[in-house]
Amino acid sequence: MNSLKTIVRILATALLVGRANCSSPPPKTQPASINVEHEKLFIASIGGKENLKAYPGWPTNERVRELLLDNVRQVRANLIGEFMRCRKYGLYSVVDSHHAPTVRIELTMDSLTRRGDTLFAPMTAHIHIAASRRTIKKSLEGVGVAPAGNATNSTDLHWLGHVLADYRRRFPYHRFVAAFYPSYPRQPSSPPR
């Protein structure tokens, strides 16, 4: 009887040791594609607004133009807000130009084209990292879609205002900011009990 208990204990111990050796190692984080740890980020004003002037139907009235450009300026403000929200992951700080930034992010609106009820306005981000003296270029695809039932005339200011407001809402803020902090692998979900 004593030997049977000993055999059971040895088998149980062997199973536990074998099980412990088969467990997977803890997941590792992937480094950020644009490493800015402990850096001071500055997001400059959006450039390339002269491309908007080439768009057919762009208003000549200065006041109306400023109202439409507010949507483009709001993209920068929302991007700063997203960087501020995610700074705990990227271990960086967001500063203005007076606090000696070490990383400067410049956004440039490349073009403005219309297909159907969709306005395509891609941007290019130039990330200047002072410490390594490198510049990283990243493309951002931005689109704005006119609401259903809205006028589809591209020269209509009302239509253009709606589409630029939608562009501001749909801009890929999360995808752009995610390049600045490490990616954590998804944990496998446990089966329901």
Query: Taking a C-beta distance cutoff of 8 angstroms, is the pair 21, 81 a contact?
Result: no
Q: CA 119, CA 139: separation in Å to the nearest integer?
A: 17
Q: Residue 64 pLDDT > 60, yes or no?
A: yes
Of 33, 31, 38, 41, which is closest to residue 128 (Cα–Cα)?
41
DSSP 8-state symbol, 193: -
For 84-141, write each residue's pLDDT tens digit: 888 777 678 888 887 889 999 999 998 888 888 888 989 999 999 998 899 999 999 9
What is the torsional sign of CA 24, 88, 80, 125? negative
pLDDT for residue 155 is more than 60: no
- Looking at residue 193, its pLDDT comes to 44
Is the pLDDT at 148 greater than 80, yes or no? Answer: no
Instruction: Read off the pLDDT of residues 78-89 as tens digits, 9 standing for 90 and up.
Output: 999 998 888 777
pTM for the whole structure: 0.72
Q: Is 116 exposed, middle or buried (0-12, 13-18, 19+ CB in 10 A)?
A: exposed
Confidence at residue 102, expressed as pLDDT on a 0 to 100 scale: 92
Domain map (residue ranges) of the chain? 40-178
Task: From the options 3.30.160, 2.40.50, 1.10.3470, 3.30.70, give the CATH code of 40-178.
Answer: 3.30.160
pLDDT at 153 over 60: no
